[in-house]
Amino acid sequence: MRIRQSPLESARFGRSVERLTVPAGERPPFSPVGQALLESAADVVVLRYPAEYVDWFAMLSLPGRTPLFAGSLTYWRLAAGRGSGPQDADGLWTAELDDPAAASALVAEIFAEYGNHYAANPLFDDSLALAGYQEWAGACAAGGRCLALWGRGPGGEPEVLGLATVDDGPDTEILLAGVVPGARGRGRYAHLLRAVEERALGRGSAEVVISTQEHNTRVQRAWARYGFRPSHAVLTVHLVRSGLL
């Protein structure tokens, strides 16, 4: 088990942050995980491991570390081409968004109330966590990995209603996706999902993958309606160096 430094998070929060992710698959013993955590000198280690390892949390009260449970991520998958996408709608269209500043501003509006794992840790400022999402979205826009959903404003002028940022690998993973608060509840999110699915098909991806914090049930219902199926869950724990809390 190898802990990796997280320089972006360290710079953002003013604390040394490292990450350790235990992959799904054949269950490993806890001992190498515990040893890696004991050897770390970071202020915070963000540990992620499969949710079925329920007994691990009780073993995380290690010398010199305070474990903070930071929720779980639920992952959903869609076989590309099998989604129940909506029909074309007048006044709605999608296009690549290559403006990092615009993507950053949209994320600030869409995810302002989203409670991610950073909120569990009093050492981390929620506003700085949102700023991290904004930087992430801006980098995706600059790299050609951001789609925007467009509509017509009250005066008929074009306006951006939502965005999705993606990671292109063997599968297409949706990193951030949502619509602005004033455009929610009208089925527009499904148009954004369809745009990502069409992009995935165009790139030859077999699946579209997406995840969220487990409390975000509203968006998970939208995924289920579209055709996504739950895949697996991952627990997040922050191991904080003793004396910092």
Indicate which CATH number applies to the domain containing 95: 3.40.630.30
Q: Residues 120, 207: one domain?
A: yes
Residue 193 pLDDT > 90: yes
pLDDT over 90 for what percent of the chain?
89
For the chain, how many structural domains are there in total? 2
Q: In what order do the strands lie in the sheet with 207-213?
A: 4-5, 17-21, 44-50, 229-241, 65-79, 207-213, 172-179, 158-168, 146-152, 93-96
Residue 1 pLDDT > 90: no
Residue 185 pLDDT > 90: no
Q: Residues 104, 129: one domain?
A: yes
Its domain, for residue 192, covers 78-231
What is the residue whose two structure tokens read 């990193």?
175
Residue 206 pLDDT > 80: yes
Alpha carbons 158 and 148: distance in angstroms, whole number = 12
Q: Residues 102, 212: one domain?
A: yes
Q: Residues 67, 82: one domain?
A: no
Residue 26 pLDDT > 90: no
Residues 83-103, mean pLDDT to the nearest whole number? 94
> What's the predicted TM-score (pTM) here?
0.93
Q: Residues 103, 53: one domain?
A: no
